[in-house]
Structures are given as structure tokens and as C-alpha cells.
Amino acid sequence: MLNVSPFAAEGPNARPDNKVATPAGLPHLAPMQVIRSPAAMQRLAGKWQRAGARICLVPTMGFLHAGHLSLLKRARREAGRRGRVVLSLYV
């Protein structure tokens, strides 16, 4: 499972570009990006939209649980292989 901590870009898998390395054994997953500002997310979403990607948002209030995982799986199905899934973590 991916580390979805808001501090993932600062953990043991951190990279300077704010992407967390894909976990071993899950090559189909893209690296997770940690976006820290609304403006940065808006720019990134605009780029994805211009490229024709479908974007699905899974909003959370922190304390991630199995229900969130279920929503992430559904978002992935809805977005498709070329789409983007965004999880917001509000704490």
C-alpha cells in the first residue's frame, strides 16, 4: 500500500521532487505526489485537463480507513488507466 501520509515527501522514501517512490511489487502504481497548496493543485489539475485526463477526487478528513481505500479503488475505476486520482487529506 502507498504511504498516504501528508508527510510522505519527508519520509524514508522521499525524493527532492516531492514524489514518493512506487512500492516494490506494485509496478502499476504511479509515484504519489504531495501537493501542499491549492494553487499548485489547480495548476496541476489544469495541466491534466488540457491533456485530456479524467480527474477523480477522494476527499478525506484524515484518519484513513478501509472506506477510503474503497473510494480510492472506485475513483481509479472511474478515472481509467490514463486518469488521475487525487486524495485530499484534511487534518
- Determine the distance from the C-alpha atom of residue 47 to the mean position of all C-alpha atoms in its chain, rounded to a whole number: 15
- DSSP H helical ranges for 9-80: 38-50, 66-79
Catalytic residues: 68
Residue for grid cell 479524467? 54
DSSP state letter for 30: P
